[in-house]
A and B are shown apart, each in its own frame.
Chain A
């Protein structure tokens, strides 16, 4: 149980385009979903927290207009990287939790390469 999927697993795009990443909780309802970014040899850094039906809360330094997060249902959250640039190339991982205070279950990650 407690499986989280992400799609796509990897994506290559041209600079200036937008990329959407999906995060799904497959066998449980996730009130809260988290989006992390991991650069090579760095730790996972929380980008934003989303609660179903409300606006996401972004961490300091993360541009909310660039990283659009939608959590429209209890099983799906999406992260859209708008006008992607090479510096946005990273490993994006989502996690899901039933209440936010409970265990977070992590997706397999999405590797984004912006050319």
Chain B
């Protein structure tokens, strides 16, 4: 059974800092990996999707990497802003499946 772990559970940084969120998964047979953002009491916003054959994806100040063999992904946020404060979720889709397995998330607070 796939398990997804996110470290740290919470992170507080001053505005302007660069930061890295970590995600690990136990079964490397994945179809893709996604990073989502969830604001309090809200649904999910997809940030980046990395196919299993890709190593990284970039969107603006966000960069996500994937090392499938080691079961790890990182989300790098450059020049953090207070508006980045949210919970960031990592989720993997198993190969041959459509099911997403989520981590518990990292709650990010960017202090002005």
Residues of B within 8 Å of A45, CB to CB, are 102
User: What size tier do the contact residues of chain A reach?
Assistant: 20 to 34
Is B98's CB under 8 angstroms from A49's CB? yes
Q: Does B77 make an interface contact (CB < 8 A)?
A: no
From 77 to 115 in chain A, residues with beta carbon under 8 angstroms from any chain B beta carbon are 91, 93, 95, 97, 100-101, 103-109, 111
* CB of B23 to closest CB in A, whole Å: 12
CA distance A91 to B39 in the complex (A): 13
Contact A41 B104 (CB under 8 A): yes
Evaluate whether A108 and B43 lie within 8 angstroms (CB atoms) in the complex, with A43-B4, A43-B89 already known: yes
Instruction: From B43, B46, B98, B103, give the contact of A93 (CB < 8 A).
Output: B43
Contacts known (A41-B104, A103-B49); A46 close to B99, Cβ less than 8 A:
yes
Query: Which B residues, 67 to 111, have Cβ-Cβ distances below 8 Å to chain A?
Result: 89, 91, 98-105
> Is the beta-carbon distance between A104 and B100 smaller than 8 angstroms?
yes
How distant is B41 from chain A, measured CB to nearest CB, in Å? 7
Residue ID in chain A nearest B4 by CB atoms: A43
- CB neighbours (8 Å) of B102 from chain A are 43-45
Taking a contact as CB atoms under 8 Å apart, the answer to whether B42 and A108 are in contact is yes
Task: Report chain B residues within 8 Å CB of A46.
Answer: 99-101
| Interface of B toward A, CB cutoff 8 Å | 4, 31, 36, 41-46, 49, 89, 91, 98-105
